Amino acid sequence: MNPIAFNIGPFPIHWYSLLIALAFGLGILLANYHAIRHNIDTDKLFNLLVLVIPASIIGARIYYVLFNWGYYAANPQEIPAVWHGGLAIHGGVIGGFLAGYWYIRHEKDLKLWPTADIIAPSLILGQAIGRWGNFFNQEAHGGPVSPEFISRFPAFIQKGMYIDGHYYHPTFLYESLWNGLVFLILLRLIRRKSLPDGIVTMAYLILYSLGRFFVEGLRTDSLMLGPLRIAQVVSIGAIILAAIFSYYKLRKTE
């Protein structure tokens, strides 16, 4: 599996980078569409995204590097090499949220939860696309599987999951498909004007975290905190907090 899509002169263009760019591009278009439908100023939303997108990339990279500090301390030249993979979505969400919160506090024409609800479907769509970057990098896969098991998948998946003489669980595919399903659910929820502000965002947190918890248990490259898989810990925390938030928000509308 070649992680490089093509070269522009001496510069290699990686599939990972192209897919991340595609994810952001489609996400911006979708958020703009939903902003128009919900009477949110698209110029202000675009200004927000100009800040949030780089903040999310930086946050995703910092999060990943910190939890792999032993490697990056010995190889500091690899810290900015995001085209080699290594963007942690939880770090990206944290970085993007903090940047968005800061902007909205200074931009009175936008409100936090209605804006977050607009962005949530775009975010999960981007995650579904971005996981295919892991496929081309042959990373974020699960443990070894038998030839019989992998034969149930399309031939190009089998080829991509054949690494160093063994087949591996295509966990990138499991998560991408789950994220695609969550995306469809959020598209239905965002059309329901009766829902309180923030519920679409909380649905994103609950549903994504639920899928990520189970997929993470199959992966071999999890970021660890002692014996615990960090993504599973964060997923449980996100589900609990989002459920509590949703409960109180929905009670207020009764």
**Angstrom distance (rounded) from CA 118 to CA 38:** 8
H-helix or E-strand spanning residue 13: strand 11-14
* Radius of gyration, alpha carbons of the chain: 19
Confidence band (pLDDT; 50, 70, 90) for 254?
low
8 A C-beta contact, residue 161 and residue 136? no
Question: What does the pLDDT read at residue 167?
Answer: 97
| Six token digits for residue 48 | 């927000």
14-69 tens-digit pLDDT = 999 999 999 999 999 999 999 999 999 999 999 999 999 999 999 999 999 999 99
Domain ranges of the chain: 4-252
**DSSP percent split of the chain into helix, strand, coil, nearest 5:** 70, 10, 20
89-121 tens-digit pLDDT = 999 999 999 999 999 998 878 999 999 999 999
Question: What does the pLDDT read at residue 28?
Answer: 96
**Angstrom distance (rounded) from CA 227 to CA 147:** 30
Q: What average pLDDT does the structure give for the chain?
A: 94
Give yes or no for residue 160 having a pLDDT over 70: yes
| Six token digits for residue 177 | 């498909």
8 A C-beta contact, residue 14 and residue 6? no
**Angstrom distance (rounded) from CA 210 to CA 243:** 12
Give yes or no for residue 74 having a pLDDT over 80: yes
pTM recorded for the entire structure: 0.92
